[in-house]
Chains A and B, each alone.
Chain A
Amino acid sequence: MGDSNIIIELKNLTKRYGYGDAESYALKDFNLTIRRGEFIMIMGPSGCGKTTLLNIIGLLDRASSGEYFLNGEDVAGISARRQAKLRAKKIGFIFQNFNLIEDLPIIENVALPLVYTGYSKTARLKNASSIISRFNLQEREYYFPYQLSGGQQQRVAIARAIVGDPEIILADEPTGNLDSRSSHNVMEELKAIHSEGNTIIMVTHNPALTTYATRVINMLDGHIDTDIKTIADQNLPQPISVKIKNRKVKPEVVLGEIEPSKKRRRRKSHRRKK
């Protein structure tokens, strides 16, 4: 594990469904190494295990056997609580059907991952607001998801995925429900996020989108069929550390700077004048 640029390493990963006669494999002895800053597109026919792979990488699902190293740490057998923590801090999800909470306004949807990483409400909304304005949706902060178009909803979902500043962004056919114009917008956003040094793993059916990727993987029946890199490893964009660090918003006025004695005297003289 000497190479700190390797962010994900999967070894002999197997995902089995059912037992006995009904046994089937979504992934079989799957090996994959992903470097920091890669933009990977995973393609392949339906049922070849793309989504299962994404769910396992995203710690939503567990493999039946095999090893999974995230940042050099073995995460295959960790507790559900620890999985949730890693999900909140390191991973951002983007789904085909957006998966926004219908009852919450846009800003709270975007702020959702921050709820589980211990931000105060003001800090959450502040961060969410700045991310939303990046996607040019600032006028719609308090709209509800059903009031937005599909493309806008997906941009909100992307905003939610990156608000916690994760290292890995997993996208499961993010353009599947969008028209070509919206999907172009979405891809441009993803490209911008990638250029900031984020690792993106995206599942898609659309071959036209592979131009955005640095690496294209074709899957077939639970294993890798072809694996093509379009950019050499050393040319991958590396993260610029622009992190959101203010966990709790500090008061803007520092109390020590006010001189209480002076203020008091002024008040007294004011009274005397009366």
Chain B
Amino acid sequence: MALLFKTHFRLAKTSIKENRTRSFLTCLGIAIGVASIVLILSLTGSVSNLIKNEANEIGSDLIVVRPVSKKDSISNIIAEFTSSNTFEQSSLSLSDVTAISNIKDVSAVAPIVTSTNTVGSEKNTFSSVPVLGTSPDFIKIEPLALRFGTFFTNGNKEKGVVLGHMLSLSMFNTINSTVGKTVTIMGERFMVVGVLDEIEESINFDNVDFNNALIMDTESLDKLMGSTQVQQINIKAANTDSLAAISDEITAKLKENKSGDENFTVAYGDDISHPASSLFMIVSGILALVAAISLIVGGIGVMNIMLVSVAERTHEIGIRKAVGASSQNILMQFLFESLILSVLGGLFGIILGYVLAFLLSIITPFAPYINWQILVVTFVTTIIVGIIFGIYPAIKAASRDPIESLKHYR
């Protein structure tokens, strides 16, 4: 059997070599499909890597509580994006934040409350400014640096706000003298106590664009808006050894708070780094679908070429059968050929995909991301494509009647 495999392999190699241009073009079809899959997998990998790196930067003592919403189903995600309502019904509330802060070994708790609001300066007003509500502990957890001023403290949290780098520039045309100026939100006046340094990574696990955001205390925001939805709670543990114990305790406390419902997740370590944005997941999902379609087109190319090859070699099939080849032998011979075509295309595609990923990394912050899972997934995919699109021509070849085939001439 192994001997026959070797022979089939050799035969396929000869046949592919003989029709070099044709084989190359067929491989190219597969290669383009595989390259786009590799590119997308590399991109998603690199994004979650960025988030992971950020989580590492923050430290290993971070615990994150997120609500589990009905967000997981696609129709809800679409509803979320099509409606103008950016507030999401969250299962977390400010009382949960208080509950968590009472747990011992928790050194800092910062809720993340996001909303958009109209913010006014002396000169003009800006609509749709992302407003982030959090606690003074936020700066202890996040590695955010302030360019000027300080973060608001327990002392001035009622009236103090912090501006993102870009927001400061666009509201006051400066970052130097913004501290001390007044902004107006829903008629209430607040004082700018600090301006954030510019942040290069646009993606983080809080899912907040800090450069354009206005940061204020949760309680003030709560008063302003009437009610708030807590999107996420970041918790800093006193020591890294007791992360599991603390997260268990948080789970128990919150469950008690919510009369037994477990509609939230508590994550620490690597679990935090799962891409937070569902939009990102949707986009990469759609891209993967497009890539899969191009791979199917490539597979059809393989099938087409194999059908031509079977038609061209009918006479050969007849001769082989006459000298003792069984239908299985013929089937394997042609299946091997399509397998080799698609696997060759796959290898070519992996290289092409990483070249593209590298070129993309020059203009974007996404570094090419290589791991064995991606390589295995694409390799297995090409084998499956080779079999799926090769089996029909191979069966067609195998089922040829030897007597009829012998009469067949090119």
Enumerate chain A interface residues (CB-CB to B < 8 A): 55, 58, 60-61, 80-81, 84-85, 87-89, 91, 93, 95, 99-101, 103, 112-113, 115-121, 160, 164
Q: How far is the CA of A81 from the CA of B318 in the complex (A)?
A: 15
10 contacts between A and B (CB under 8 A): A60-B322, A81-B326, A81-B327, A84-B324, A84-B326, A95-B406, A99-B319, A100-B319, A101-B319, A120-B3
Query: Would B323 and A116 count as touching, CB distance under 8 A?
Result: yes
Query: Would A93 and B323 count as touching, CB distance under 8 A?
Result: yes
Q: Given A95-B406, A101-B316, verify A84-B6 contact (CB < 8 Å).
A: no
Enumerate chain B interface residues (CB-CB to A < 8 A): 3-4, 6-7, 10, 14-15, 18, 315-316, 318-329, 402-403, 406
Q: Which residues of A contact B322 (CB under 8 A)?
A: 58, 60, 87, 93, 99
Q: Please, which residue of chain B has its CB at the minimum distance from the CB of A123?
A: B3
Q: How far is the CA of A87 from the CA of B3 in the complex (A)?
A: 19
Query: Would B323 and A118 count as touching, CB distance under 8 A?
Result: no
Q: Which residues of B contact A87 (CB under 8 A)?
A: 321-324
Q: Please, which residue of chain B has its CB at the minimum distance from the CB of A164?
A: B324
Within the complex, the shortest CB–CB distance from A84 to chain B, in Å, comes to 4
Within the complex, the shortest CB–CB distance from B390 to chain A, in Å, comes to 20
Contact of A103 among B6, B316, B403 (CB under 8 A): B316
Q: How far is the CA of A119 from the CA of B327 in the complex (A)?
A: 19
Q: Please, which residue of chain B has its CB at the minimum distance from the CB of A119?
A: B3
Q: How far is the CA of A119 from the CA of B324 in the complex (A)?
A: 13
Q: Given A93-B323, A116-B323, verify A84-B403 contact (CB < 8 Å).
A: no
Query: Would A88 and B328 count as touching, CB distance under 8 A?
Result: no
Q: At the interface, is chain B mostly helix, strand, loop or mixed?
A: helix
Q: Please, which residue of chain A has its CB at the minimum distance from the CB of B407?
A: A97
Q: How far is the CA of A164 from the CA of B4 in the complex (A)?
A: 16
Within the complex, the shortest CB–CB distance from A120 to chain B, in Å, comes to 6
Q: How far is the CA of A173 from the CA of B253 in the complex (A)?
A: 94
Q: Which residues of A contact B14 (CB under 8 A)?
A: 103
Interface centre among B10, B324, B328, B403 (most CB of A within 10 A): B324
Query: Would A115 and B7 count as touching, CB distance under 8 A?
Result: yes
Query: Would B323 and A80 count as touching, CB distance under 8 A?
Result: no
Q: Which residues of B contact A116 (CB under 8 A)?
A: 320, 323-326, 329
Query: Would B325 and A84 count as touching, CB distance under 8 A?
Result: yes
Q: How far is the CA of A118 from the CA of B3 in the complex (A)?
A: 7
Q: Please, which residue of chain A has its CB at the minimum distance from the CB of B318?
A: A99
Query: Would A60 and B324 count as touching, CB distance under 8 A?
Result: no
Q: Please, which residue of chain B has its CB at the minimum distance from the CB of A166?
A: B324
Q: Please, which residue of chain A has its CB at the minimum distance from the CB of B329?
A: A116
Q: How far is the CA of A124 from the CA of B181 in the complex (A)?
A: 92
Query: Would B326 and A112 count as touching, CB distance under 8 A?
Result: no
Q: How far is the CA of A164 from the CA of B324 in the complex (A)?
A: 10
Query: Would B324 and A85 count as touching, CB distance under 8 A?
Result: yes
Within the complex, the shortest CB–CB distance from A198 to chain B, in Å, comes to 16
Query: Would B403 and A160 count as touching, CB distance under 8 A?
Result: no
Query: Would B324 and A113 count as touching, CB distance under 8 A?
Result: yes
Q: Which residues of B contact A89 (CB under 8 A)?
A: 324
Q: Which residues of B contact A119 (CB under 8 A)?
A: 3
Q: Which residues of A contact B325 (CB under 8 A)?
A: 84, 88, 115-116
Q: How far is the CA of A73 from the CA of B6 in the complex (A)?
A: 33
Q: How far is the CA of A56 from the CA of B318 in the complex (A)?
A: 15
Within the complex, the shortest CB–CB distance from A138 to chain B, in Å, comes to 22
Within the complex, the shortest CB–CB distance from A257 to chain B, in Å, comes to 28
Query: Would A80 and B3 count as touching, CB distance under 8 A?
Result: no
Q: How far is the CA of A272 from the CA of B117 in the complex (A)?
A: 90
Q: Given A99-B406, A116-B326, A121-B7, verify A84-B321 contact (CB < 8 Å).
A: yes
Q: How far is the CA of A88 from the CA of B322 in the complex (A)?
A: 8
Q: Given A61-B403, A95-B406, A99-B406, verify A84-B318 contact (CB < 8 Å).
A: no
Q: Which residues of A contact B402 (CB under 8 A)?
A: 60
Q: Please, which residue of chain B has its CB at the minimum distance from the CB of A91?
A: B324
Q: How far is the CA of A101 from the CA of B316 in the complex (A)?
A: 6
8 interchain residue pairs of minimum CB distance: A88-B324, A84-B326, A116-B324, A113-B323, A87-B324, A81-B326, A93-B322, A60-B402
Q: How far is the CA of A120 from the CA of B324 in the complex (A)?
A: 16
Q: Please, which residue of chain B has its CB at the minimum distance from the CB of A99?
A: B319
